[in-house]
A and B are shown apart, each in its own frame.
Chain A
Amino acid sequence: MPAVQVFQYFVTNIDGRPIQGGSLSQARTIELGDGEVFDQTFKVAAEGITKIFDTTENEALSTFDFLWLESDFNVLVQFTTATTDAYDVKELAGSGVAGVMGPALVLGSDDTQLLNGAIGHVRRNGVHDQRDLGEERKHIGHGPRQNRCGDIAMAVDYDRIKGEIAHFIGEPEEKWSDLTTSAVDFCIRKGIDSVVHCGMHQWSWMRPTWKWQTSDGQRNYTLPVDFEQFIGDIHYDGEQYAYSPITQFASRDAAPAVHRLRQHRDADELRLGVAGARRGDPTAAATRPAPDARRHL
């Protein structure tokens, strides 16, 4: 049976903390019943409205299994359900550069949940270009569904885990007593700990890489929010990659040094156990907790 292999991956770096998700090597598979694929490109004038498909006019698109929609300029996409004519409008962001597509809108089925709990199906969608001449492409595969995938990238969060436990114990969260709430929190804590410290493997995602740049004259740098401790030394990157690594001192050694830092106006008098303190390329580092407010000590 034909299938679509969807590769989804994102990476970002927020305040020095790299965050990534998805995979470039592991694809999500969406099976297509009959293997029909439609690939269409539309040119939409500014303030123009274009109907992309209408199931009353094209029966073949009535039960698509996979929809990929992308645009080079911002457009509004309206989805209309077949059962009640309810509609939903989503903004599809473009790159802003003609011919360069923005992030795609991906749907794994035409199912849509209505407010009354009924399941509707996307009947047609239209495109309203807000800003400029836009170009849009969509790929549609359809057919009898073998494996419905309504939400491809479903994130697991605190509420989802509590909901799963509530389902397992057969008692909704609204009816939990304090004792049950405490027991569920214990289960979540134990569950996370059993993964993080599974004893069989050192997770790569527990040891992310932090890259940053120094500034001339700046001694202190705020570490990532989730920082616990360095694994090994700090290394130079880029053109200075061959420099000797920066050795980190234990916090107990750093405390007197930080004290001395407060005592001396000339920061170069700070000595972290290395002789010949000077201004130049760092050779030593120490971590310390940053105060969360102004304190008088």
Chain B
Amino acid sequence: MTQQQQQLVLHPTPDATYSLVAIYQIGVQMLSEDHPYPPGGPANGELFVSACLAAAESKFLDSDVGDKQQGFQMALQAAIALDLRRQPRNLGYSHGRLWGGRRRQYDRVTRVHNLRWRN
């Protein structure tokens, strides 16, 4: 079984080169020799180490309140604080068009004006 990728089907068929952008949710895979790196990049590597050690502490020592668990909770709080600082505070300039009018495309821009990313 080889790795499968999904495809995007557009309609109507594009008649030119358009630049498109989308935000997507990643699918997290179990670590293996073929997929050795946890998600989140090097900045979150130690967080995953502490999380796995906390799980090992719970599994092998049958303890959910040990040092590893406490260490993981502290690392998690720090990582969340860091991640919040990395996110943009708003979604950009709205061109001053407060209401959509006939051209619906401005509705989207208006709605996101100075709104924070949802968490």
Contact of A277 among B12, B47, B83, B108 (CB under 8 A): B12
Interface residues on B, range: 35 or more
Taken together as a complex, chains A and B put the C-alpha atoms of A258 and B7 apart, in Å, by 11
Interface membership of A281, Cβ < 8 A: yes
- Residues 53-111 of B contacting A (Cβ, < 8 Å): 53-60, 68, 72, 76, 79-80, 82-87, 103-106, 108-109
- Residues 11-52 of B contacting A (Cβ, < 8 Å): 11-33, 35-49, 51-52
- Name the segment of A41-49, A63-71, A101-109, A236-244 touching the other chain: A236-244
Query: Contacts A164-B49, A202-B119, A282-B18 given: A288-B31 contact, CB under 8 Å?
Result: no
Interface residues on A, range: 35 or more
**By DSSP majority rule, is chain B's interface helix, strand, loop, or mixed?**
mixed
Residues of A within 8 A of B18 (CB): 213-214, 236, 240, 281-282
| A215 engages B22 (CB within 8 Å) | no
Residues of A within 8 A of B119 (CB): 201-202
| B12 engages A21 (CB within 8 Å) | no
Interface membership of A195, Cβ < 8 A: yes
Taken together as a complex, chains A and B put the C-alpha atoms of A282 and B55 apart, in Å, by 47
Residues of B within 8 A of A216 (CB): 14-17
Residues of B within 8 A of A229 (CB): 24-25
Shortest CB-to-CB span from A242 to chain B, Å, is 5
| A267 engages B20 (CB within 8 Å) | no
**Closest B-chain residue to A267, C-beta based?**
B13
| A223 engages B54 (CB within 8 Å) | no
Shortest CB-to-CB span from A24 to chain B, Å, is 10
Contact of B42 among A156, A159, A183, A213 (CB under 8 A): A156
Residue of B26, B28, B53 most packed against chain A (CB within 10 A): B26
| A223 engages B6 (CB within 8 Å) | yes
Contact of B26 among A218, A227, A254 (CB under 8 A): A227
Interface membership of A118, Cβ < 8 A: no
Query: Contacts A26-B82, A205-B39 given: A165-B56 contact, CB under 8 Å?
Result: yes
| B82 engages A292 (CB within 8 Å) | no
| B82 engages A21 (CB within 8 Å) | no
| B49 engages A254 (CB within 8 Å) | no
A19-B41, A217-B15, A220-B10 are known; give 18 further A-B pairs, CB within 8 A.
Answer: A154-B42, A164-B52, A187-B56, A191-B53, A191-B55, A201-B80, A209-B22, A210-B23, A214-B16, A219-B9, A221-B8, A223-B24, A225-B3, A240-B18, A257-B9, A282-B11, A286-B8, A290-B5
Q: Which residues of A line the B interface, CB within 8 A? A: 19-23, 25-26, 153-161, 164-165, 168-169, 183-196, 198, 200-240, 242-246, 254, 257-258, 261, 267-268, 270-272, 274, 277-293
Nearest first, the 8 A-B pairs at minimum CB distance are A156-B45, A191-B52, A228-B27, A191-B51, A214-B14, A238-B19, A158-B36, A282-B10
